Amino acid sequence: MTAEIVLEPRAAGGRRFEGKIAVVAGAGQGIGRATARRFAQEGASVVVGDFVAGTAAKVVDEIKEFGGSAVSYVGDFSQWEHAQGLMAKAHEEYGRIDCAANIVGGTIWLQSYWYYSPEQIIAEVNKSFWPSMWLCRAVLPYMIEQKGGSIVNLATHAVGSLYRVPYAASKGGVMGLTTSLSKEVAQYGIRVNCVAPHGTDANDRVTPRNHNVDVSSDHVPEEEIQAARASMNGVHVEREVPMKRKGIAEEQASAIVFFASEDASFISGQILPVGGGATYPF
């Protein structure tokens, strides 16, 4: 497995975000943390948004230790008030928002759709759909006023996978948010794109995906539980990914930061699969 990329300032030619402000929601671990670090590595001041204060603070410290600028905001971005608060914090601290990366969500349960209770479905949608909706809505007034900015949402390969219909539907909604919103805001110089990762190792995970959620599956047959676990633990990688491995968080961050950069200045409304050659139903 590829080792984590060391956080250090890049040469002048590789600092695409010098003087820019990047907001990363879900930045405490995994792809979000790698994205926040990559923005900082390329010169951005970073607002680290996360659900857990300790992990947010750790990422801020990492960025500051190598000379970057960062502040944190702790909130539940499935709630409008917290999404709004994150963007207000960024604008209050730095005066503008150039990039917003919405790296929030993740499967809670793995089971066939008919085993999901209404409460489980609501929990999945709250976790993986509403944050991107609220975060996009919260950042737009700032970007429209400044007549420019870039938004990058995170989707998933799992829109076509087994055992996670509510999650797949939620991230499918994020794709629709991306493609539709991009057309509305292009007139203001705002770009909106989406990265769709395949299985990605997150060796720094502190907070489980099912944080504060009852994930008991006593009503699900044991054979289905085993099949779902096998799918999650890599069997699907051998079947679906031509490169025969999972990605690492830094590989996803590279794609996210590319979309946010001026290197992608004429790209908007796109869904980019980052999955080792895996094909997708879109």
Q: What is the dihedral of CA 36, 42, 45, 51, to 10 degrees?
A: 0
Residue 116: active-site member? no
Give me 273's structure tokens: 């699969």
* b/e burial code for range 3-14 (CB count within 10 A of at least 16 → b): eebebeeeeeee
Distance from C-alpha of 177 to C-alpha of 254, rounded to nearest angstrom: 22
For residue 214 the two structure tokens come to 């009852």
Q: Which of 163, 167, 188, 280 is catalytic?
A: 167
Q: Which residues contact 117 (CB under 8 A, 6 or more apart)?
A: none
Angle CA 31–226–198, to nearest 5 = 25
Catalytic residue numbers?
167
